[in-house]
Structure 1
């Protein structure tokens, strides 16, 4: 077992407020939430935090555990119809997912009006320390999108 805070939580050396547990995963409330119900789901085994480099079965297992937490959170709040699940992993190097309740989404149907709207023409050349689903005010250039797609597709399956 490693020495990060998530390893200490799994070992019982740090307290947490559990919302989910199975043989390979532990879900608990984030102690620095930006919305009520914000949860973290971790692997009990200490693994590097980059989901893209995790074994397929490990990544699938973590996603399924996070999905189960999302179902529980949505059921617990009358105003939550769905949750966002993020695999950022930049703060703690231990494989985990963040499950974020989308409060006041009950009854909303997916549409441009119910989603994120542009609040400016922000485009990040470098990671700013957070992720957002806010859309840009300007549509991306198709030539640039084609070049990006070619770059990504040149890497094959993995």
Structure 2
């Protein structure tokens, strides 16, 4: 999607503070962190939100959660624990219309 901020980041058109990249996913530091560690994990394939996912996206979503687990453990060393958030659509707090997972950690997080 040509006007999607995260698609532009994934394509290398906009720089980011990258944490991890593979063929399907990119992870980078959030520019407005809500915790000492706040990383976004995005698929390089455009999908607007979890609400827009179909059964055909099941493998992508499972792989995304596997990447979140790997990034939190191997790249960020969040052994004490972390929180994963998927905001869905504007009413759920989603600000960018491209599915993404937030990894928050680095301190004990409140409920």
TM-score of the superposed pair, with normalisation by structure 1: 0.58
Report the structure number with the largest CA radius of gyration.
1
Q: Distance in 1 between matches of 2:2 and 2:37?
A: 27
Q: Distance in 1 between matches of 2:26 and 2:66?
A: 12
Residue from 97, 101, 108 that aligns with 1:97: 101
Matched residue, 2:31: 31
Question: Larger relative CO (CA 8 A, sep 6+): 1 or 2?
Answer: 2
Q: Which whole-Å deviations, capped at 9, do the CAs of 1:23-60 have from their partners, x for residues lacking one?
A: 10000000110222200000001112116735210110
| Root mean square deviation, CA, Å | 2.1
**Secondary structure in 1 aligned to 2:83?**
strand
Q: How many residues align?
A: 103
Q: Which whole-Å deviations, capped at 9, do the CAs of 1:3-23 have from their partners, x for residues lacking one?
A: 111011012121101111111
CA contact (8 A) 1:30 1:39 kept: yes
Q: Which runs of 5+ in 1 are unaligned?
A: 105-114, 117-133, 135-158
Residue from 54, 67, 70 that aligns with 1:68: 70
TM-score of the superposed pair, with normalisation by structure 2: 0.81
CA contact (8 A) 2:83 2:105 kept: yes
CA contact (8 A) 1:85 1:98 kept: yes
Aligned pairs (5 A) from 1:1-158: 1-50=1-50, 53-54=53-54, 55-71=57-73, 72-73=75-76, 75=77, 81-89=80-88, 90-104=94-108, 134=111
More displaced stretch, 15-24 vs 89-98: 89-98
